Structure 1
Amino acid sequence: MEKLESARDRATIILVHGAFEHMGRYKELVERFRRDGFSVIYGDLPGQGLSDGKKGHIRSFGDYVETIQSWYEQADPEKAVFLLGHSMGGLAAIRFMEEKQPELAGVVLSSPAVSIRNKAARPLEALSYLLNVFAPSLRMKAGQNPENVTRNLIKVEEFRQDPLVIDKVSVRWYREFQKAGNRAFEQAGRFPDVPLLVMQAAEDLLVEPGRTKEWFNLVDTSEKSYKLWPGLYHEIFNEPENDQVYQYTRSFLNQHIT
């Protein structure tokens, strides 16, 4: 975990990365936030990047929730604190909010993975329940295609060459991921009354945009906004239109610094 303070230090953003990747893929975004006065707390989730433990494997999705909790405890309570989660990190942020109900200035979700498109084939899906009992740490190829993640060819090549990007996940990871998505819907009523911005890529090839909107509609907060980005792929902060996405996000953050 790293806590990178801004010289202006107007507020803190806790940033949660997605599946298969790591904190290093967000350095440009982090530096941009810092220039605009936001300190950033982020790190590698369990089983990802340079974190300890078997890569692509977790005991439960709660491992992610507790990791975010530990990051949250490092934030300055005297300043506004925001939570930003992308993809699986967005799902982890949702489960953190539903379970821990922290006091935050706002939450931003980027293409949250409440429901993925590329689920296991039906026979393997059925088998995964059995393997989760008898061989939970068994890892299988994830079949990640970077060209489905972003239209930014520079980022596609960086993804291909990145030695910290994992390409296998365990049966337990898969089952816990699926369970967390279901619980996000079941416990949507537990999401605290915190300003919420959900941004979803319209041409997302990894998660189902319609299901993201369904979850959003279930959340009962005093202030929430849903932004669909036409033409954009999954990683909206890496897309050619990333400056528009950043400015939209910054505007939300600036409105809720108190």
Structure 2
Amino acid sequence: MQKWVAQPSKATIVIVHGAFEHGGRYEALAKQFQADGFSVIHGDLPGQGHTVGKAGHIRSFDQYISTVEAWLQEAGTEQPVFLLGHSMGGTIVMRTMETLKPEVSGVILSSPAAGILNGAGKPLEAVSRVLDKVMPTLRVKSPMKPEMVTRNQDMIEKDLQDTLILDKVSVRWYHEFRRAIKAAFKDVSEFPNVPLLVMQAEEDQMVDVDKTKEWFNLVDTSEKNYKQWPSLYHEIYNEPEWKDVYQYTLDFINRQL
């Protein structure tokens, strides 16, 4: 876990990264928040980055929720806390809010995985359900390629050299992810009355844009905002237009403060 402390600090932002990646990919975003007076906490999720254990594997999605709970405890209660999740990190934040209902001042979801594109076909899906029971740690090739998540050529080149980005995930990981998405819809009524900002890349090749809208429309909160970014790919904070995305995020946070 990394902590970037601003002096003085207006609030703490807890960042939850997505599938295949790691917390270190958010250092530039964390530094920008810090420069604008916000402390930031981020880290590696189980099975990713520098964490101990089999890479690309989890026993249960609850491991992710417990990790975020620990980060929130580190953030403390002395100042406002905002929870920001990207992609699968968005799914983790959804489930964290629905199950733990932590005291936060706002939730920000960046291209959240309310539906997965490029999933297993029906024959492979059937086989994988069997493997989930008998060989859950079996790892399969990830469909993700850097050019699918951003149009930023510098970031693409950097990702191609990043040895911490996963190229394989386990059968159990895949099914726990799918089960968590279903649970996020099933328990949407449990989402607490917390200000919510959902930002979705319009040209997303990783998650289903329509499913993001569907989940957003089901959430019942006093304040919720949906922003779809034209032409942007999945990783909106890494796109050439990231400054616009960042400013939109900052405006939402400052309104809550």
Query: In which range does the TM-score fall when normalised by the shorter chain?
Result: over 0.9
Asked if residue 239 in structure 1 is aligned to residue 239 in structure 2, the reply is yes
Asked if residue 249 in structure 1 is aligned to residue 249 in structure 2, the reply is yes
Structure 2 Cα separation of the partners of residues 140 and 124 of structure 1: 11
Q: Which amino acid aligns with 1:215?
A: W
Structure 2 Cα separation of the partners of residues 176 and 219 of structure 1: 22
Query: Deviations along 1:8-56, whole A, 9 cap, x unmatched?
Result: 2110000000000001111110000000111011100000000111000
Structure 2 Cα separation of the partners of residues 252 and 232 of structure 1: 20
Q: Which amino acid aligns with 2:52?
A: D
**Which residue pairs with 1:89 in the alignment?**
89
Task: Tell me by how many angstroms 1:4 deviates.
Answer: 1.6
Structure 2 Cα separation of the partners of residues 202 and 55 of structure 1: 30
Structure 1 Cα separation of the partners of residues 220 and 4 of structure 2: 33
Matches within 5 A, 1:18-33: 18-33=18-33
Asked if residue 150 in structure 1 is aligned to residue 145 in structure 2, the reply is no
Task: Tell me by how many angstroms 1:143 deviates.
Answer: 2.2
Structure 1 Cα separation of the partners of residues 65 and 73 of structure 2: 13
Task: Tell me by how many angstroms 1:75 deviates.
Answer: 1.0
Q: Which amino acid aligns with 1:104?
A: V
Gap regions ≥5 residues in structure 2: none
**Which residue pairs with 1:219 in the alignment?**
219
TM-score w.r.t. the length of structure 1 is 0.99
Asked whether the equivalents of residues 116 and 207 of structure 2 are also in contact (C-alpha less than 8 Å), the reply is: yes
Asked whether the equivalents of residues 147 and 156 of structure 2 are also in contact (C-alpha less than 8 Å), the reply is: yes
- Secondary structure of 1:19's counterpart equals coil
Task: Tell me by how many angstroms 1:78 deviates.
Answer: 1.6
- Secondary structure of 1:74's counterpart equals helix
Q: Which amino acid aligns with 1:6?
A: A
Matched residues, number: 257
Asked whether the equivalents of residues 118 and 143 of structure 2 are also in contact (C-alpha less than 8 Å), the reply is: no
Matches within 5 A, 1:1-258: 1-257=1-257
Q: Which runs of 4+ in 1 moved over 4 A?
A: none
TM-score w.r.t. the length of structure 2 is 0.99
Structure 2 Cα separation of the partners of residues 122 and 60 of structure 1: 23
Query: Deviations along 1:125-151, whole A, 9 cap, x unmatched?
Result: 111110000000000101211111000
Structure 1 Cα separation of the partners of residues 251 and 211 of structure 2: 25
Structure 2 Cα separation of the partners of residues 231 and 238 of structure 1: 13
Structure 2 Cα separation of the partners of residues 4 and 145 of structure 1: 29
Structure 1 Cα separation of the partners of residues 200 and 15 of structure 2: 17
- Secondary structure of 2:137's counterpart equals coil
- Secondary structure of 2:74's counterpart equals coil
Structure 1 Cα separation of the partners of residues 8 and 91 of structure 2: 30
Structure 1 Cα separation of the partners of residues 85 and 107 of structure 2: 8
Q: Which amino acid aligns with 1:9?
A: S
Root mean square deviation, CA, Å:
0.6
